[in-house]
Every structure is written in C-alpha cells, then in structure tokens.
C-alpha cells in the first residue's frame, strides 16, 4: 500500500513540475513578444485591427510538447502609452474611447511616488494629429481654481518641451532651477518667496506611473476633486513635442522645480512673449541661468 501511494505521489509531482514548466515558458514567451512589439495593442492598431478585441497569437518554437502560447491583449493602459482618463495611480483607464486621443491623469486622495511622461507628441505635432475643438492648450498641468485645488510635488522636471507658448503661474516652489531655455520672446517676473522644502510621503503610497512614446491630442494632469490636492513625489515630463496650442503649468506647490532645455516659440518675434513666468511664481532659492531669446517657430 505504501509503495502504491509513493508511486502515485511521484507521478503527481512529475505532472505538477511539467505543468509549472509549461506556465513558466508561456510567461517568458509572452514577455519576449511584449518586449518585441512593445505592446500588442499598438501592433494591432498598426495592422488596422480593433485593439480592444484582437488576440495576437505566437507559437513558442522548441518548447517541450509543442506548447502553443497565446499573447492576449489586455486592453488599454497608461504604461503602454494609451490615451484615456486615469485615476492615479491606476494603470487602466476609467474612461476610454477609440475616438478620444486625450491623455488625462486625475490625482486624488492617493499620493503617487512617481509619474513619468516622456518621448511623446501632442496636438498637431505628429502626422494626423489634431487639437480638440475649443481647446487653446495642448498641455495642462496643475490644480483647478474651480475646485480650489493644487498639485503638490516634491520634485517636478519640465525638460525639453517644445511649445508654441509656455506659461508658468500661481506656483510656490522652494527651489526654482530655470536654465538653458530658448524662447521667441521671454517674460520672467518671478518673485522671491518663502515656500518650504517639500517631499511627498504618505506611507503605503502608490509607487510609479510611467509611459513613453505616445501620440496624443491633449495631455492633462489635474486635481479635479473639490478641496483635495493631488500629490506626487517625483513628476517628470521630458522630451515632449507639441503644436497647435499652448502649454500651461499652474496652481502647484513644489519642493524643487527644474525647467531645463525647453524651446518655446510661435515665430512672432521677441516683442510677443512666448515663455512667460508670471509674477505669481515665487521661489525661496531661484537659480536662473542662460535663458536666451532666439527666433523659434512652431515645429
């Protein structure tokens, strides 16, 4: 009896190990395909299929027993660069439509460790891109006056933006590093202030939201809930090409604000100011270096 039980146990163990081996190979193959295409969702778009219903199948060559691995499209997500309305820190949009190409992040009661948006084109800066009807701005970051909110950030980096016009207003920052920016007309009216050094904790906060390489008609990061400030420890928006509207950063409380290597201009001469630092921007430590006026036209 013991011998028979031992035999059954051995067979069950062997079957378990074989199944686990198949699962591991399937997961590895899926990761390889996701890395190769970056996302089945984008690949499906490129092929002209409906990305919400497509199933991309791949056969894993050389796996034991000829295992077939199906890479399933899991729908749109922030990490894959898809537009939609995202309640931070969620990676899946709460509102999504194939006909809406806006990327919107709503910040609420949950602090976020880091948000990264990089290497994207906005508005009419890419082939086929348009600005939504009635919109004057293509990049909007900050709290809402109507909701009496701000966005609180430990470290905010505005790096290598290309804007027709960039306006910073109603911002308290402990350290302002504004360096190496070029503009077709610049107005800097920042004032000294007493803003404290700031970092965003929150205990069991959300870790990171990161996306790169998308094309959007509009990018918004807002704190829309009345009386509830959005909170992000590190916010990085880098290498963003925009056209067809303005860029606005407003209603923010920041520990360190870096504004670096941006190019702003609409080609209308130095008299019309395209890079505006309003007198409602105040900094306790203000490092302003090598910001120049040069002729710059929209891309």
State the DSSP string of 42-101: HHHHHHT--TTT-EEEEE-TT-TT--EEEEE-----TTTT--EEEETT-SS-SB--TT--
**Could you give the CA distance from residue 231 to residue 139 in angstroms, rounded to a whole number?**
19
Last residue of a domain, one of 32, 50, 72: 72
**Could you give the CA distance from residue 229 to residue 108 in angstroms, rounded to a whole number?**
7
| Range 142-161 average pLDDT | 98
46 and 185 share a domain?
Answer: no
Percent with pLDDT over 90 in the chain = 69
99 and 235 share a domain?
Answer: yes
Residue 52 has pLDDT above 90, yes or no: no
193 and 274 share a domain?
Answer: yes
pLDDT, residue 203, reads 76
Question: What SS3 state is found at 274?
Answer: coil
Structural domain includes residue 299: no
251 and 167 share a domain?
Answer: yes
Structural domain includes residue 77: no
45 and 165 share a domain?
Answer: no
223 and 148 share a domain?
Answer: yes
Structural domain includes residue 79: no
Residue 23 has pLDDT above 70, yes or no: no
Q: Are the beta carbons of 290 and 180 closer than 8 angstroms?
A: yes
131 and 23 share a domain?
Answer: no
Q: Band the pLDDT of 62: cuts 50, 70, 90.
A: very low
Structural domain includes residue 158: yes
Structural domain includes residue 65: yes
Last residue of a domain, one of 12, 43, 72: 72
| Range 237-245 average pLDDT | 97
181 and 88 share a domain?
Answer: yes
- Express each pLDDT in 161-173 by its tens digit: 999 999 999 999 9
Q: Are the beta carbons of 135 and 245 closer than 8 angstroms?
A: yes
- Express each pLDDT in 67-111 by its tens digit: 444 444 568 999 999 999 999 999 999 999 988 999 999 999 999
Q: In Å, how far are 39, 40, 73, 84 from 46, measured between CA atoms? A: 11, 10, 14, 19
Structural domain includes residue 161: yes
6-20, 110-124, 230-244, 248-262: segment of lowest average pLDDT: 6-20
- Burial of residue 240 (CB within 10 Å: 0-12, 13-18, 19+) is buried
pLDDT, residue 202, reads 79
Structural domain includes residue 192: yes
94's CB contacts (< 8 A; 6+ apart) are: 84, 85, 86, 87
CB-side neighbour CA atoms (13 Å) of 213? 7
| Mean per-residue pLDDT of the chain | 84
Percent with pLDDT over 70 in the chain = 75
**Could you give the CA distance from residue 291 to residue 184 in angstroms, rounded to a whole number?**
11
Of residues 117, 88, 94, the one with CA closest to residue 206: 88
pLDDT, residue 198, reads 96
- Express each pLDDT in 194-214 by its tens digit: 999 999 987 777 779 999 999
Structural domain includes residue 298: no
94 and 60 share a domain?
Answer: no
> How many C-beta atoms lie closer than 10 Å to residue 271's C-beta?
7
pLDDT, residue 299, reads 80
**Could you give the CA distance from residue 90 to residue 107 in angstroms, rounded to a whole number?**
10
pLDDT, residue 59, reads 34
pTM score: 0.76
pLDDT, residue 46, reads 39
What is the domain count for the chain? 2
Q: Are the beta carbons of 152 and 229 closer than 8 angstroms?
A: yes
Q: Are strands 215-216 and 112-123 parallel, antiparallel or unpaired?
A: parallel
Query: How many helices (DSSP H) and strands (DSSP E) are in the chain?
Result: 2, 20
Last residue of a domain, one of 20, 45, 72: 72
11 and 119 share a domain?
Answer: no
Structural domain including 269 reads 84-293
pLDDT, residue 283, reads 98
55 and 189 share a domain?
Answer: no
**Could you give the CA distance from residue 55 to residue 94 in angstroms, rounded to a whole number?**
22
221 and 257 share a domain?
Answer: yes
| Range 41-45 average pLDDT | 43
């Amino acid at each position: 009896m013991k011998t028979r039980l031992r035999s059954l146990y051995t067979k069950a163990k062997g079957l378990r190990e074989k199944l686990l081996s198949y699962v591991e190979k399937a997961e590895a193959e899926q990761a390889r395909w996701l890395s190769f295409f970056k996302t089945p969702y984008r690949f499906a778009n490129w092929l002209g299929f409906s990305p919400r219903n497509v199933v991309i199948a791949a056969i894993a060559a050389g796996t034991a027993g000829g295992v077939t691995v199906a890479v399933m499209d899991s729908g749109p997500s922030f990490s894959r660069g898809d537009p939609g309305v995202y309640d931070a820190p969620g990676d899946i949009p709460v509102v999504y439509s194939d006909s809406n190409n806006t990327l919107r992040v709503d910040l609420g009661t949950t602090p976020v460790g880091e948000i990264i948006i990089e290497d994207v084109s906005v508005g009419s800066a890419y082939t086929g891109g348009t600005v939504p009807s009635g919109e004057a701005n293509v990049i909007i970051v900050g709290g809402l006056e109507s909701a009496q909110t701000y966005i609180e950030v430990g470290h905010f980096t505005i790096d290598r933006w290309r804007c027709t016009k960039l306006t910073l207003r109603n911002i308290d920052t402990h350290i302002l590093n504004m360096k190496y920016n070029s503009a077709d007309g610049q107005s800097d009216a920042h004032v000294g202030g007493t803003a404290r050094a700031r970092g965003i904790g929150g205990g069991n906060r959300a870790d990171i939201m990161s996306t790169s390489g998308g094309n959007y008609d509009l990018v918004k990061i807002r704190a829309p809930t009345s009386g509830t400030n959005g909170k992000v420890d590190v916010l990085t928006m880098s290498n963003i090409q925009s056209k067809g509207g303005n860029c606005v950063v407003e209603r923010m409380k920041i520990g360190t604000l870096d504004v670096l290597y941006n190019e702003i201009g609409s080609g209308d001469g130095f008299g019309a100011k395209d890079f505006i630092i309003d007198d409602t921007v105040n900094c306790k430590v203000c490092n302003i270096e090598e910001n120049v006026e040069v002729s710059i036209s929209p891309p």
